Amino acid sequence: MSINPNWSRWIKSSVVKHFQDYVGGVQLLIEGQPKVKLAQNERFELRMEGPYISEESHNFFFLYIEINILISCIIDKDLYRIDTLAGMAASGFMNVDVYREGNGADDTGTLLGCLHLMQHSGSSEKVTQKNYGQQEHDVPMQQSSVEGHFTMTIHT
């Protein structure tokens, strides 16, 4: 069997649904969606790299995925709001179940597998947070990001 053309869609759909549970009602954009003005004073933007897929042996596939969430927040009286938002995003970085969701014939809603949060190579961290501060002098917005890397195996 070869790579299933639905894997990428199923993974992305499951990742989006998973992280929606951790954003506490804050606007969550998915990379590729049209950029819109902030509906609130803050938002999350979810970006996924991959899956990078290799067939390790006959019908046994190894998948690698990077997930990054960019956090944007208008600067106001709460100097720690960006940190609170980053903590909300970071709390979602755990193993993620992947389901065959959608409207096609192969979209049965059953469990495909699990994305396992892994340590970054050469370090003990599984989740990294970066603070970028205020990016533009005349725009009172600060940004931060949270990133994690995941693996998954599929036997067909």
pLDDT, tens only, 107-116: 999 999 999 9
pLDDT of 37 > 70? The answer is no
Single out the residue of 18, 28, 12 nearest to residue 102, CA to CA. Answer: 12
Query: Quick one: pLDDT at residue 141?
Result: 86
Mean pLDDT value of segment 118-143: 81
Indicate the Cα dihedral angle 92, 96, 97, 102, nearest 10°. 80
Domain ranges of the chain: 7-155
Q: What is the pTM of this model?
A: 0.89
7-155: CATH topology: STM4215-like (3.30.2000)
Single out the residue of 88, 95, 80 nearest to residue 15, CA to CA. Answer: 95
Query: Quick one: pLDDT at residue 56?
Result: 93
Query: Quick one: pLDDT at residue 15?
Result: 97
| Top-confidence residue, 87 or 39 | 87
pLDDT of 75 > 90? The answer is no
* Distance, CA of 19 to CA of 15 (rounded, Å): 6
Task: Return mean pLDDT, the chain.
Answer: 90
| Top-confidence residue, 25 or 121 | 25
| Top-confidence residue, 50 or 139 | 50
Query: Quick one: pLDDT at residue 125?
Result: 78
Query: Quick one: pLDDT at residue 38?
Result: 61
Burial of 32 (0-12, 13-18, 19+ CB in 10 A): exposed
The percentage of the chain sitting over the pLDDT mark of 70, rounded to a whole number, equals: 93
Query: Quick one: pLDDT at residue 107?
Result: 94
Q: Is 90 helix (H, G, I), strand (E, B) or coil?
A: helix
